[in-house]
């Protein structure tokens, strides 16, 4: 990150003549660049974006300004404009820093074909750089263009010869597409290229065992022992072959078998699951969701250290309304990789919708340290503070979000509606003309639900909304009020205590607790 920070300014200065030769216009452009950088460093993203755009109107070929604009737009969630700006910068001055950032943006936007074409361009410029081939193939795999990825791998193999990493990747792709003959041939070629490397023979034997080709597996293990009689793995394998992974049943047997294979490319597996999860999100098909839960569980079993496996499980839980489990999967994702912003936003949404507001405050604060320019983080943090009656802090956070979305009329209107809702909370006033459907989570979301129940409490609906992880302090207090009105003082006392433990700042809570003790 330090390199990315310094590069634009260094490039900008490099494009300028010596101070004594600078024209008045060049001095002005330099001052504009520095002013825009200052706004960016102060966290005034929208203002910095405006300044860089104004600078580029006067100097459209200023690639450091385009790079800085792209970084700011990406931080503000404006991925498509960021890509356009960065592509212009790269066209003006091709270099590895711009290319790497552009590839990251293509991946974040799901524009895998564009990412593959970027690396194809880099290969044309630097055909000896093996890493560019691997990156292009990875983008093609994400785009589910397996044939294209395989061609790239073969082109690289023609250039550098048989390579262990390359053979593993080709084997995984062939296996994922069901081409077992070619998958086998890749491992055989690897063994033949490195006959003294016993690890590759073990890889081939393991593949045969997974395919239940026990005779071929035994032959490979016997050859290993001929070369190295003390090889314990081969000795044990010949004594007792490992069982084949259970491939599942019914229509999902083939996909389950694919997911069970540790040597199949993870992106290929994810690519096969994503359309099914999107189908669940669009149709709410519970039967399909239940089948997919078994498949995503298998994916996590096989790839316990892969953030993508945990994230895709979280997405499935989220789209089926199992918010507590979704939050747990997203937490696991962030423990493995905390650099992917959409996972943070999904976690915050799950925690909010599930009334896990103590954790919402915790994770929103952590998210701000990593992504200080994301308005959604401020909004979720503000919700967590408002629903424990810390209205001053909620207002401050929401004000920050309002500044960030000021250039987006629809988002600004949504934040303004949320400000009205917070004012109603703080003043203990009726919701009035509030459009509850425009609040986060809609009419069923925690804020709208609380406002509606405060106006007309429904004891049954209130208690149905409770669960062990509920730390919505205002809602717990309202539940306590309902139980007290029903004459159940013990239940009321328990709910009030939970509200206090959840960090309530409600001025009335302490009096209610005292009244129950008297």
DSSP letters of 411-446? HHHHHHHHHHHHHHHHTT---TT--GGGSTTGGGSH
Model confidence at 386, pLDDT cuts 50, 70, 90, reads: very high
Q: Are 496 and 512 in contact (CB under 8 A)?
A: yes
CATH fold of 1-109, please? 1.25.40
Q: Given pLDDT bands bounded at 50, 70 and 90, which one contains residue 472?
A: very high
CB 346 within 8 A of CB 372: no
Distance CA(476)–CA(464), nearest Å, equals: 12
Q: Distance between CA atoms of 252 and 242, rounded to whole angstroms?
A: 23
Q: Is the pLDDT of residue 414 over 80?
A: yes
Q: For 60-84, how does the pLDDT look when each residue is reduced to its tens digit (9 = 90+)?
A: 999 999 999 999 998 888 989 999 9
pLDDT-based confidence at residue 173 (cuts at 50, 70, 90): confident
Sorted by where each begins, the domain ranges of the chain are 1-109, 162-240, 274-331
Tokens of 319: 């789209």
The more confident residue out of 250 and 167 is 167
Q: What is residue 342's predicted lDDT score, i.e. its pLDDT?
A: 93
**Same-fold call for 1-109 versus 162-240:** yes
pLDDT on residue 239: 62
pLDDT confidence of residue 50: 92
CATH no., domain 162-240: 1.25.40.10
Q: Give percent above pLDDT 90 in the chain.
A: 47
Asked if pLDDT for residue 315 goes beyond 90, the answer is: yes
- As a whole number of Å, the CA-based R_g of the chain is 29
The encoded tokens of residue 421 equal 């809702």
Query: Nearest 5°: phi and psi at 410?
Result: -65, -45
Mean of all residue pLDDT scores within the chain: 86
Question: What is the rounded CA–CA span in Å between residue 240 and residue 136?
Answer: 41
Span 110-120, average pLDDT: 93
In this prediction, residue 21 carries a pLDDT of 64
């Amino acid at each position: 990150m330090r390199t990315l920070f310094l590069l634009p300014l260094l490039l900008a200065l490099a494009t300028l003549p010596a101070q004594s030769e600078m024209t008045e216009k060049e001095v002005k452009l330099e001052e504009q660049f520095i002013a825009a950088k200052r706004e960016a460093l102060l966290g005034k993203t929208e203002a910095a974006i405006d300044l860089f755009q104004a600078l580029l109107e006067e100097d459209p070929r200023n690639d450091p300004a385009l790079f800085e604009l792209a970084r700011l737009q990406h931080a503000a969630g404006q991925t498509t404009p960021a890509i356009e700006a960065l592509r212009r910068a790269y066209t003006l001055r091709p270099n590895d820093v711009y290319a790497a950032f552009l590839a990251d943006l293509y991946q974040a936007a799901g524009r895998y074909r564009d990412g593959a074409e970027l690396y194809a361009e880099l290969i044309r410029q630097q055909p000896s750089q093996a890493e560019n081939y691997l990156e292009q193939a990875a983008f093609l795999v994400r785009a589910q263009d397996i044939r294209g990825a395989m061609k790239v791998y073969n082109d690289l193999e023609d250039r550098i010869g048989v390579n262990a990493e390359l053979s593993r990747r080709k084997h995984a792709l062939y296996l994922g597409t069901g081409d077992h003959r070619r998958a086998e041939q890749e491992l055989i070629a690897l063994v033949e290229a490195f006959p003294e490397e016993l690890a590759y023979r073990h890889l081939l034997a393991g593949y045969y065992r997974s395919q239940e080709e026990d005779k071929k597996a035994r032959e490979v293990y016997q050859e290993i022992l001929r070369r190295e009689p003390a090889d314990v793995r081969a000795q044990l394998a010949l004594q007792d072959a490992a069982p084949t992974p259970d491939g599942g049943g019914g229509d999902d047997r083939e996909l389950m078998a694919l997911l069970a294979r540790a040597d199949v490319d993870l992106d290929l597996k994810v690519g096969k699951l994503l359309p099914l999860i999107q189908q669940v999100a669009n149709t709410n098909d519970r039967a399909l969701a239940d089948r997919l839960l078994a498949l995503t569980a298998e994916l996590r079993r096989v790839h316990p250290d892969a953030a993508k496996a945990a994230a895709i499980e979280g997405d499935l839980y989220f789209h089926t309304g199992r918010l507590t489990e979704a939050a747990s999967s997203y937490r696991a994702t962030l423990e493995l990789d905390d650099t992917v912003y959409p996972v943070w936003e999904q976690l915050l949404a799950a925690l909010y919708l599930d009334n896990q507001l103590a954790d919402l405050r915790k994770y929103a604060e952590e998210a701000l340290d990593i992504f200080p320019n994301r308005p959604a983080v401020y909004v979720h943090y503000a919700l967590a503070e408002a629903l424990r009656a810390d209205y001053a802090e909620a207002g401050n956070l929401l004000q920050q979000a309002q500044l960030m979305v000021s250039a987006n009329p629809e988002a600004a209107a949504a934040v303004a509606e949320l400000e009205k809702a917070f004012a109603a909370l703080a003043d203990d006033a009726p919701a009035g003309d509030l459009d509850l459907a425009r609040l986060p989570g809609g009419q069923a979301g925690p804020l709208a639900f609380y406002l509606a129940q405060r106006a007309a409490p429904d004891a049954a609906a209130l208690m149905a909304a409770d669960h062990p992880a509920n730390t919505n302090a205002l809602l717990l207090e309202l539940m306590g009020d309902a139980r007290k009105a029903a004459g159940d003082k013990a239940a009321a006392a328990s709910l009030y205590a939970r509200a206090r433990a959840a960090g309530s700042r409600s001025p009335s809570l302490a009096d209610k607790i005292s009244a129950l003790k008297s």
